[in-house]
Structure 1
Amino acid sequence: MTKLTHSIDSLWNDTVLSKDYRPGAAAYQTAVLEQWKMLVETSERVSTRRSLTNTFFLAINSVAVTILGIFWPKPTAGLSVWWILLPLTILLITCFSWFLLVISYRRLNKAKFAIIHSLEELLPARVFVNEWELIQRRGNTRYIPFTAVEIVVPIIFAVTYITAGVLAIVTAL
């Protein structure tokens, strides 16, 4: 049993049942629905933050690549290696941070949707569960999760920086 499965299994409070809500089950269903709404709303907020984070890091890296393109034609012979390594290190740390944040946001939303799916078991319609099942079906097209695409971008920037850094250091020596 994975940690996530264990968390979902322990989501429900066994001591609180629908019959505990007076005057009937309507209050229980309302509570479940409100919790579902809250989780859907917070998952949307996480997605918004994730998008803003990606925009921020993409802007930083776009500026860095532009600066790299401006200075690339200029010879680096005689330039201290430290003037190459310092910005290279900063850019690689930026890429690594971006990569870790993408993974963190993915895990956070995955956990939120596992709970949302669990709450839907107590609601009349299981909209997100059914949406996910429809996406997973392999018809004419294959679903590629956004994270799979999103996680490649900082890696591409990092490889670009490493390649440019190595070439600049070789030229500087």
Structure 2
Amino acid sequence: MYVEMMDRVTERRGKTNTFYLSLLSGLLTLVPVLVEKILLPQSKDKYIVLLILATLGFCLCFIWRSNIDSYKQINFLKFQVIYEIEPNLPFPCYKREWEILEENPRIQYRRLSKIEKYVPLILAIPYLGLFIYSLSGLLR
């Protein structure tokens, strides 16, 4: 039952990542539509709207990164509890899993949390560029 709870946390983590990825991608998709179709191309208002979108996107990237760290901590704690329960089980599955991994040098395990924490940072780059672009447009 406890392992099932851990799986649910992992599932929620995946859904959270999908949510932020969709939201941030959608927000970036709005930029050319707003600039070309809705806002006047030469208007200063364009830069204010873009600055707001850039700030919003950048903040969402930061919040997403914080969520990833939080889920990582929750999973770590749940694994610690499972490791404490495992000696009372008929077979220590998780311990054996790690032993097999360590015994086999051909298997290069990369922790998902180490990889996934870079995605919000990578997605923050276009928002940073948009922020600089809109700020420079306002200062002209």
Q: Give the Cα separation in 2 of the matches to 1:82 and 1:132.
A: 52
Unpaired segments ≥5 residues, structure 2: none
What is the RMSD of the two structures over their aligned residues, measured on CA atoms?
2.3
1:43 maps to 2:9: no
Q: Which of 18, 22, 25 matches 1:59?
A: 22
Q: Give the Cα separation in 2 of the matches to 1:143 and 1:69.
A: 40
Q: Specify the code of the residue in structure 1 equivalent to 2:64.
A: W
Structure 1 position 136, deviation (Å):
4.5
**Percent pairwise identity:** 29
Unpaired segments ≥5 residues, structure 1: 1-37
Structure 1 position 77, deviation (Å):
4.6
Q: Specify the code of the residue in structure 2 equivalent to 1:62.
A: S
Moved more, 135-144 or 60-69: 135-144
Structure 1 consecutive aligned stretches of length 4 or more whose deviation exceeds 6 Å: 72-75
Q: Give the Cα separation in 1 of the matches to 2:27 and 2:21.
A: 10
Q: Give the Cα separation in 1 of the matches to 2:66 and 2:130.
A: 23
**1:118 matched residue in structure 2:** 84
Q: Output the TM-score relative to the length of structure 1.
A: 0.69
Structure 1 position 60, deviation (Å):
0.3
Q: Output the TM-score relative to the length of structure 2.
A: 0.83
Q: Which of 41, 54, 66 matches 1:100?
A: 66
Q: Which of 26, 31, 36 matches 1:68?
A: 31
Q: Give the Cα separation in 1 of the matches to 2:36 and 2:132.
A: 15
Alignment: residue pair count: 136
Q: Give the Cα separation in 2 of the matches to 1:123 and 1:102.
A: 31
Within 5 A, what are the aligned runs for 1:1-173? 38-71=1-34, 77-80=42-45, 81-136=47-102, 139-172=105-138, 173=140
Greater helix percent: which structure? Answer: 2
Structure 1 position 79, deviation (Å):
1.6
Q: Specify the code of the residue in structure 1 equivalent to 2:92.
A: R
- Change in Cα spacing, 1:141 to 1:84, as seen in structure 2 (3 Å) is same
